[in-house]
Amino acid sequence: MRIALAYNPRMSARRLGRVAALARALDARGHRVSHHDSLNFDCARDAPDAELLCVCGGDGTLRTVVGRQSDLAALPPIAVFPVGTINLVARELGYPRIPEDFIHRIELERELSSPLARLNGEPFVACLSVGVDALAVASVSEGLKARIGRLAYVEAMGRIWAKWPRHRLTVRTNTEEFEAEALFVLRGKFYAGPWTLHPEAHLGHETLRVLALPHARRRDVASLAVRALAGMKAPRGEWRHLETDWLEIVSDQPVPVQADGDPVGVLPARIEMSGDCLRFR
């Protein structure tokens, strides 16, 4: 099989070593491998004959690669070799971290079609949030993240705990308008690790699943973390679960937004299903 490996050649030596180990294992299995920089890779231009696109990284790397494509319809099936920090897509779809097990998984030729969502016209894959969670993501030290992984997000949240921000958001869908202080948009099953914020969210679903918090005080966010750990079977009290094809979020403040674990700007935001699909193998 002709496989295009897309990854950031500037990531840590440890992670590059894992990609090299995968490339060696693929070669030993008789696959033909090409290497590409995830920051400027366009499959239609750089690997038009690829039968599989293997993104080596996390959810942010996957979002970057998808967003760089000149022709999404030309993409072959995608697999994600999990060398990122959180790896929500890889966790949901069961991509192993061990190269030999990963190769066995992609050789099964089992595919999932995943409808693609967009934020202000740009794709995202697993999740998005607006409010204090996104502020913590924007505050993460990249150096610390490289050293301690997801604990860097905990450290960032600790820094903003003392001076806790509150944001008033106005949310519009095709059926209603309401206010909230924090919003989470789920495409995939998991959020921030092995936790879920909506029991019906999954990558194969055709709509957006949303959790809206009318208040995002410290105690609300702490309660959210506890419920996420328990699987979030139902929202608490005034919290709201909803399903929609699109939503718009505005505020009179420059409220931060994060998508797939990376800061992507501030409000306003229009989030919608795009009509495009990704194929995962």
243 CB neighbour count, 10 Å cutoff: 14
| Range(s) of the domain holding residue 142 | 122-274
Mean per-residue pLDDT for 198-215? Answer: 96
Task: Categorize the per-residue pLDDT at 141 as very low, low, confident or very high, splitting at 50, 70 and 90.
Answer: low
Q: What is the pLDDT of residue 96?
A: 98
**Given this model, what pLDDT does residue 148 score?**
67
pLDDT over 70 at 150, yes or no: no
Least confident of 57-61, 119-123, 133-137: 133-137
pLDDT at 247: 98
Clarify whether residues 146 and 181 are in a common domain.
yes
Assess whether pLDDT exceeds 90 at residue 21: yes
Whether 263 and 127 map to the same domain: the answer is yes
Residues 44 and 133 in one domain: no
Number of domains in the chain: 2
Is the pLDDT score of 130 beyond 70? yes
Residues 6+ apart with CB under 8 A from 16: 7, 9
- pLDDT category at 154 given cuts 50, 70, 90 is confident
> Exposed, middle or buried by CB within 10 Å (0-12, 13-18, 19+), for 266?
middle
Cα separation, 126 vs 104, in Å, equals 24
Percentage above 70 pLDDT, the chain? 96
The tens digit of pLDDT for each residue in 250-278 reads: 999 999 999 999 999 999 999 999 999 99
Which residue among 46, 79, 110 closes a domain?
A: 110
Same domain for 43 and 71: yes
Question: What's the whole-number average pLDDT of the chain?
Answer: 93
Instruction: Please report, for the domain that includes residue 88, its CATH number.
Output: 3.40.50.10330
Domain boundary among 110, 134, 169: 110
In a domain? residue 11: yes
The 10s digit of each residue's pLDDT in 59-84 is 999 999 999 999 999 999 999 999 98
